[in-house]
Amino acid sequence: MRILVVNVNTTEAMTEAIADTARSVASADTEIAGLTPEFGAESVEGNFESYLAAVAVMQRVTTYPEPYDAVIQAGYGEHGREGLQELLDVPVVDITEAAASTAMYLGYKYSVVTTLDRTVPLIEDRLKLAGLDARCASVRASGLTVLELDQDRAATTRGIVDQAENAVCSDRAEVICLGCGGMAGLDEEITAKTGVPVVDGVAAAVTVAESLVRLGLHTSKTRTYRQPRPKTIRGWPFER
C-alpha cells in the first residue's frame, strides 16, 4: 500500500525527516510518500500558520497524481484533519490523535511534550475535539521552536527530557507523547531517563493507517465527512 505523509510546513528537510521516521516503522510492502505543502510557513507554531497549513495540506494531497491508500497529517495539534476527511474516502490519520490513542494502551495517563508555550492550547483543543483528552495528564512546552529542535541536539534533548520528567513526577503521566514531528529519535533518551514509554506521533500514525487499510475501513460518509457539495469555488487554490 501507499501512504501519503504530509508535512504541515514548507521545510523540505523536515518532510524528509518525517518520511524517514515513517519508513522506519512501515511494513515492507508499504510505500511512504512524503509531501511538502506548496505554500505556507517554514514552521507551524500557532493558529494563523496552522489554518494556512490546513488549506495547504488539502491542496497538496488533492493534487497528488498517484493513487494512495491512506493519508497522515504530520503536524502536532494542527487544524485541517476534518477537511481532508471530507475530500477523501481513504483513512486520514492525525499524528496528535495517533500518539494519544497509542499512549492510552500503555499507561493510565499520558502527557505531551511540545515546543513553544503558545502551541499548548492548540494541542489541548485538538485532543478535546478528538475525545482523547480524558486521560491526558498535561501538555508541556519545552520552550524550543520547531526549527531549533534540529540545531542544538543536546539542548533539545535536555529541554524535552526535563519536561518529560516533570510530567511523570508532578502530573502523574505514565507515558510521554513527543509533541512535534521534529522530535523523532528522542524516544530512547527519554525512556532511559524517565523509565516510561515514549510515543512518536508519526510512527504511531503509520501503524494506525496501515491497520485501517488492512481492516478495509474507510471514512464514514454518512454525515460529517460527506464529500463537499458541488458548488462554485472562487480563486486559487481550489477554483472550480
CB of 69 to a second copy, least distance (A): 14
Q: Closer to a second copy by CB, 34 or 197: give it.
A: 197
- Interaction of residue 75 with a second copy, rule CB under 8 A: no
What residues between 32 and 71 interact with a second copy by CB under 8 A? 38-43, 45-52, 54-56, 58
Q: How distant, in Å, are the alpha carbons of 108, 156, 181 from that of 196?
A: 12, 19, 20
DSSP 174-205: SEEEE-SGGGTT-HHHHHHHH-S-EEEHHHHH
Determine the Cα–Cα distance for residues 204 and 200; give it in Å rounded to an integer.
6
What residues between 205 and 234 interact with a second copy by CB under 8 A? 207-208, 210-212, 214-215, 217-226, 228-229, 231-234
Q: Closer to a second copy by CB, 19 or 176: give it.
A: 176
Q: How many CA atoms lie within 13 A of 157 on its CB side?
A: 13
- Rule CB under 8 A: choose which of 10, 114, 142, 163 binds a second copy: 10
What are the cell numbers at 26? 512501515
- Interaction of residue 158 with a second copy, rule CB under 8 A: no
Q: Closer to a second copy by CB, 154 or 206: give it.
A: 206
Let me know: does 124 contact 100? Beta carbons within 8 Å. Answer: no
- Interaction of residue 121 with a second copy, rule CB under 8 A: yes
